[in-house]
Chain A
Amino acid sequence: SQQGEEDPQALSIQEGENATMNCSYKTSINNLQWYRQNSGRGLVHLILIRSNEREKHSGRLRVTLDTSKKSSSLLITASRAADTASYFCATFDSGTYKYIFGTGTRLKVLA
């Protein structure tokens, strides 16, 4: 079963707006990653944040990590229609050495 949970499950915004997605997890982790999946495609890695980091930026992406709350957020600023995709968080459980993907957030950016 999936241990990572994304919130919301689906999000629809206008082009130019910011999109925020949240991820919660249950176990101790070494890092947390965010992936994007375009329809009919494989997942593509976006960004990795380590357990000792609180915030990380990459272009229009901003990721935060709160290990005390076991949660992370992904912010996409100035969204574009091309950002329309599903976004997944993934964690590496340092106890069981398992990779766990969340349930995903389906983002739709309207032009």
Chain B
Amino acid sequence: DAGVIQSPRHEVTEMGQEVTLRCKPISGHNSLFWYRQTMMRGLELLIYFNNNVPIDDSGMPEDRFSAKMPNASFSTLKIQPSEPRDSAVYFCASKSAGLAGRTDTQYFGPGTRLTVL
């Protein structure tokens, strides 16, 4: 298995531009998570999906952020318009189904390092 795949690995853009981050979860996993990591705030859960349905988006910082999961093998995180304070590493993670506590291991992708100038 290739693991969780994220693209691009690095993104440099200018303030005001739209940014789209992509994630392909591990085949067979039914939960997908988007995280943001910065030195100041650490690792923050932005949103997670269960069976392609958004379950909790309370971590999404503001309306400029949106996430979709059109099918079980693909998700996007979009920032429009981007701002310098959005600069961070964005991780996607997935996990398989099961009772909470039995299959809670999340598998992380390599991350996308976003720099907004």
Contact = CB atoms under 8 A, between A and B. Distances in A.
Given A2-B42, A42-B4, A97 B105 contact: no
A31 B35 CA distance: 20
Given A42-B91, A104-B42, A98 B56 contact: yes
Interface string B74-98: 0000000000000000010100000
Nearest to A96: B56
B14 interface: no
In the A-B complex, list the 3 residue pairs whose CB atoms are closest, starting with the nearest: A42-B108, A30-B101, A101-B43
A53 to B, nearest CB: 11
A103 B42 contact: yes
Provide the main secondary structure of the chain B interface. strand
Interface string A4-16: 0000000000000
Interface string A71-101: 0000000000000000010101010011111
B12 interface: no
B25 interface: no
A84 B44 CA distance: 23
**Chain B interface residue number, banded:** 20 to 34
Given A30-B101, A94-B100, A101 B42 contact: yes
Nearest to A46: B105
A90 B41 CA distance: 15
B39 to A, nearest CB: 10
Given A97-B56, A99-B48, A104-B42, A41 B104 contact: no
B101 A97 contact: no
A48 interface: yes
Contacts of A51: 101
A35 B42 CA distance: 14
Contacts of B111: 41-42
B78 to A, nearest CB: 21
Contacts of B4: 42
A54 interface: no
A93 B42 CA distance: 18
Contacts of B55: 97
